[in-house]
């Protein structure tokens, strides 16, 4: 294990952090893993499952002597986590994260740890399920999935290379992307679909006949709304963190829905067919033609 991570500190040992730990251990690319979080029961279970080797509730203790620190907490908690680790990081310790919006995370790290910016590599694994906690984690989560890294001009080359190698060891494809582009793309491809699922389920649940609606819901409804079972706190934080890009794409989508509703009301079969054929062709070309990316954040 000459190229292995000596000590990995995982802040937030849930689906994302736990799966990273499992994958690196399975690949023989980590020697010692310390988990850190607020929930003792979850950390004790992570220890029992062999996901981590030890745990602590103290972030400053967790990061001491770590080669890499991986932060997998809700976006709204990022700055507080960064503040608690600053002053306890080794000179060469690399910090990276799994947040779904990148501009807010980078801003938080720069504010909390201005002297360690060159060792920070912002990242986003495009993988997940609607389940939470270490029990939901599994080593294969990142196999054939994409991980987007958004390094800044200050990011040290060796830090970027080491984080890239870490994700590749988990079976992931690493993509380097500009921060603003990442947040725009993810607003459209991940954040918007979650808003549609949350909004649809909430709207239907408030109808008088909601019992019958959910009782007779078919497979398509269940498939489409599965992601509405995702962590509400996490998605609240994503909306706030990426509000500008997400609000913009939601406005455009609302315009599309108004146009579609008007088309249906008019009974314009020709326009409806054109919309549906265009959508089918686009999905067949751009989605089915690519490796599946099961994303919940």
Can you tell me the distance from the alpha carbon of 90 to that of 84, in angstroms, rounded to the nearest whole number? 14
CB 148 within 8 A of CB 182: yes
Task: Fill in the DSSP letter of residue 228.
Answer: G
What architecture is domain 181-286? Orthogonal Bundle (1.10)
Q: Report d(CA 232, CA 125) in Å as an integer.
A: 19
Q: Delimit the domains of the chain by residue range.
A: 5-177, 181-286
The span from the CA of 46 to the CA of 31, in Å, is 16
What is the model's pLDDT at position 178?
96
DSSP secondary structure string, 105-126? HHHHHHHH-GGGGGGEE-EEEE
Give the predicted TM-score (pTM) of the model.
0.87
Instruction: Give the containing element (helix H, strand E) for 44.
Output: helix 40-48
The matching CATH number, chosen from 3.20.20.70, 3.30.930.10, 3.40.50.720, 3.90.1170.50, for 5-177 is: 3.40.50.720
Written as tens digits, the pLDDT of the chain (297 aa) is 458 999 999 999 999 999 999 999 999 999 999 999 999 999 999 999 999 999 999 999 999 999 999 999 999 999 999 999 999 999 999 999 999 999 999 999 999 999 999 999 999 999 988 788 999 999 999 999 999 999 999 999 999 999 999 999 999 999 999 999 999 999 999 999 999 999 999 999 998 888 888 888 777 888 888 889 988 998 999 999 999 999 999 999 999 999 999 999 999 999 999 999 999 999 888 776 554 444 556
The pLDDT assigned to 189 comes to 92
Of 104, 101, 123, 100, nearest to 112 by C-alpha is 104
SS3 28: coil
């Amino acid at each position: 294990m000459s190229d292995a991570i000596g000590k990995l500190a995982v802040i937030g040992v849930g689906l994302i952090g736990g799966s990273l730990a499992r994958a690196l251990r399975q690949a023989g690319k980590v020697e010692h893993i310390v988990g850190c979080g607020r929930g003792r029961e979850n950390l004790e279970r992570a220890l029992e499952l062999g996901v981590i080797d030890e745990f602590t509730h103290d972030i400053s203790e967790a990061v001491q002597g770590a080669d890499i620190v991986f932060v997998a907490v809700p976006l709204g908690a990022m700055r507080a986590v960064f503040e608690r680790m600053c002053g306890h990081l080794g000179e060469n310790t690399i910090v990276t994260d799994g947040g779904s919006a990148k501009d807010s995370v980078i801003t938080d790290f720069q504010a909390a740890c201005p002297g360690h910016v060159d060792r920070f590599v912002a990242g986003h694994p495009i993988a997940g399920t609607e389940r939470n906690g270490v029990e939901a984690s599994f080593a294969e989560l990142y196999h054939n999935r994409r991980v987007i890294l958004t390094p800044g001009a200050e990011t040290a080359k060796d830090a970027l290379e080491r984080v890239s190698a870490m994700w590749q060891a988990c079976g992931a494809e690493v993509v380097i992307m500009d921060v603003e582009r990442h947040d725009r793309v993810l607003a459209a491809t991940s954040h918007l679909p979650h808003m549609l699922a949350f909004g649809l389920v909430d709207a239907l649940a408030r109808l008088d006949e909601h019992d019958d609606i959910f009782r007779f819901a078919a497979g398509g409804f269940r498939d489409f709304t599965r992601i509405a079972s995702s962590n509400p706190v996490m998605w609240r934080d994503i909306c706030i963190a990426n509000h500008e890009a997400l609000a913009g794409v939601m406005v455009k989508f609302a315009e599309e829905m108004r146009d579609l509703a008007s088309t249906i009301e008019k009974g314009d079969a020709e326009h409806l067919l054109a919309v549906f054929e265009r959508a089918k062709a686009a999905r067949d070309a751009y989605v089915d033609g690519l490796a599946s990316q099961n994303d919940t954040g």
